[in-house]
Structure 1
């Protein structure tokens, strides 16, 4: 029975192992593909035992060939791992590799499998084990360990102990992994297997290894882990073993001269490798020395390292560069702190605090007359500012004596000199001495700062002596533009083109000719210089141009040249005219449409510009432009009816002007057809008078005088009234006006109306009158009909001006006799002629 019992016990043991392996398989399935897989197994495995299952698909989906590096293990397609032989694990772990290949894609991957064996130290009941696992782990989670860097030992030096409470129930062995244990720097630490004491084997540099993150393990002798792996930190405490250092060997800054105190120059930066936010890295700065050391010019902020100016007396012209030695010290600047020094160079930038100036106050030079584009003088410019900078570069200006722009001055950028040149020829005969006033300034404005010199504009005087030269004739102007009439005949004089002797200023003894190779449009008279047309021009040549060189030769043979710029103009025989020229406008004041025409072609054609040429004749009228060839003409509101002659000028596109007289009958009508010029009772028709007609006029005047004498006799000289009534005067005027042909010789001065207001229409036919043409003996003259408003008072066109004053009968009779005598003499003269 004993052997059977033993066999039965062995079967039960194998069954238990299989169950344990199956439980571990669940955990293994979650391992990542192609990474190391670990199985916890008994120290002895029977042949055909399932060790576990790996995920082959996640490692290589299309694995065609699966093999194991250890023949004691066989791998199935589903990833199951079986033993092929009885395996006893003499050591705590065994490792083999699963090889996966995809022959078509030429892919190959490996998966490492690690077998860990474990054995219980003592056998406890399940109830007891569960109770142990539920206990609180007080010693398994110690506080982070610390170790002073650069410690002097003695070594090995214990720095911490880890211990598991499960050591009360199991034989616990301790181990650790991570930097300092099994990774670089290997061997720096070790842990005692039985006690959990962690030791350091030597000193550590915190700046290289500020801390070590390790993992501690607690296991039984058979490989069972009653505790989870414990992450643990070994912190290296900082020691002030590093002095601060500047980030640069040399700091260079630039600051403008004469800047304000407190101007930021730059910032120095230092670093300390010791632990941040401790006294070991709390840095302070100070300036140790400053060169030159005459005055302290700069300061440094002790906390930030920012360097600023202390005074506005930085002067580049005196000290262009300053050198500072700056110290940085840790431990908040305490004397026992570590320190270092650095060098700072501050360059003083130039500003324009020095004005340019001339070496001399006056210069003198000579130049031959008529020379152009020649250098006549170089003027040095001195400046204390930095050479070749905008504050040093000089610019010059001629402020006086160059009003005719004969001179120009530029700057030689290499020497900073002013180069004075003649750009237009000088004339000795005009003046033999030119005095120029020249100033100098810089490219940038002058900066007025403390301790800088006062700005004074540097000025120098240049005397330019013009030397005489016997020169040839000079045309005035040197370029003469002319326009040749396209309709002109051959030999038509265009104008004269004369040259003068610059010595004498006259044209005597000078002959003229056209230079060879010129266009044959004009000729020049050898003696007089008259330009004449040399050919006929057709319409196709209109607008064409040609430069013609004319030569002038004096008695000594010297020659001068001039240029005639000739343009062929259009054939402009005709001026623009108005059509039609006679119009009638009724009381509705509707404008009339007037068009201008011309047979000429461009440019002597449209667009036209219209204007009333004589405003005294057309002040009561206004024009409105309609288009390029026409206008509207309309009366203003304040003119009476009548016939008006309005002179309208028309200017073509080339400026040629013609004037047309437009006659407008401004009539009291509804339509123009209702108004016949000769039927208008307010407009007397033009009458051609002979000798008998003039005689009849004189007789009519005598008859009027007789009527007046008779009336005076009826009333008597003694009983006559002082004043003549308005009705009587108006009656006489009306009767006189209705008799024919007495009204033709009525003179407005026959009845002297004092203080009478006469409205002037300014339309060229008299003061409120209609002109009548009188012809006698082949000659004609106009006679005015006076008293227009008085004559028309009966028709509502005006009121009698006699109301302005009254006269006695004797005054009126004396006046009438004198006027009648004048009319008699005038009539006699007309009859005689």
Structure 2
């Protein structure tokens, strides 16, 4: 049918044919159960929603390790019945009525009498010729179950455990029993109960009659009172009725320990003795009482010193084998300081304390220990045992830097004690007086040399009394940084181009703070300080730059550097102020050198002057050769004119030189030269230009080159041949006068040095817009000075300085 009630027989499967030795039978569907004879029963109401219901019967032989399955398919009967009815409706067939015998019933274990008549029928009939008109009738005899099997427990002994102080209702375990009689009958309806409890105290556990579950009943299970319980339990069929069959079993329940008992000392006071200065010796053992299970964390003792051990002289540990507390001295005691020590020790457990129900909180157990210190004859003692002495490096030899003495503990004084060192103190540069203990330097201490390289050293000192007993102490000599090094400028030679980019001077000092940075820089020469300045950059560097326009040349500038400790380092900074764009273009070979206001000439400068004089002599000879004997040529070639241009480092006259000081020379040549007028005199300075010749200039009351040659005074205008003058005549005339003119040009009206006489200029990479020398530009066409346009751009830039602005 499509619906089945619970405990309904569905059918039977042949288990023996599948597995003869099966000892475990189970169903894959919990809605069905399989009995040992193969009967299939429903365990709950089942409704078939699909056409077919399938499940499997699992058979196992646990000994032979064999497993097999039987697949069961249940088909709804409703469809088959419907087809049968449809067939009956279609074809009507009459069937003879026949007698069906009623099944017989008998009870197992019947006592007879035997043979026992169950029922009597006519089983089948035949015709005389042997024809059987009826099919055989089947007579079913059903054997009803008799309660002939007592239930039995699945285990001979059940063992469980539970924590002490567990709350009522906590499940301890479950007992199980079975019955071989017919399932789901009174013969297999089992009931459990506790028959007895050992020890026979207040019942501590309950047993559920239907499920066999054992639970805590007594709220105060105490392992320290009862460590285990033994229960005699009974299982009875027939729902526990007195006429049912029963069996008994044994259950052992162990009570597990919790830390519900605090440890306590056996004694509240202890006394012990120890000699002074003894270290790492055992002086006392203490023991405790703990009711918890021995060897468990609940009874393991943990000791501590809670009072009287501020200097950490004592230590207490636990002996794991005996659970005792072992008190030791770990730092030497001093009889003179304290003749006895009183300690307070406490004890706890390894596991945290768990308060039992309805119990009060226990206080921590403590005990006092009095330690008597015994006096001993001791050696000298340094106070302190470790002395630090700070000393500055570079101290004078023989400087006293400290004193290190020891005392006799019995007398409290230092009489009769002398001092020695383990190693020679000369390695460290100090000496300790053997009588007074005074520490002095025997050499200049340096942090960077020898044993003091790390800035400190440790010296072990021995103090020896009259009895030969010794005491040991340590002196730590720490060398503090001193101001032993002068600050120095790392680079002293520089090249400054015409852009006058400031020079960065950097100094360094090997000393440590506070004897190094910040540095102070200063120019020592007053005259150079008026034309050069120093600008601060950071703590160890400055910028050096000129204040105004200065001539090109080499300057030696004295610069002092002072460190933070006051030590001064003197340096000369060599600056080559060069007419260049980049320093690589400058030939640092022989320009004039300016230092301290004095002008000196270098080797290359002197060589240049000699070569210049020779070149000038060559020019004069060439000019004279061009003029001829007794005849003055009126023109000079361009080449001659170009060779007459002599390179000079004087780029411009001072601002005081005005245009009216430059006048044309009166001469008999085709084109006149230019001279310099100063006051009421005229002297010859230089003649340059195409077709120029050397001639004299009439000066009022002064001797000219012509007068020198002719021997005349200053009357009329003499006739002279300038091309016939010798080099000596030229030199004797020009040298003193050119020197005087140069000297006057460098002074102002108050005879002071003119600061802007030497002017600087920049080269932008192309020719000057003036196109020629500025002071001659107004007579360019008239005096044929166009050859100057072919000169280098630097010379044109120099010419601009002559232009009145």
TM-score band w.r.t. shorter chain: 0.3 to 0.5
Q: TM-score, structure 2 length as denominator?
A: 0.44
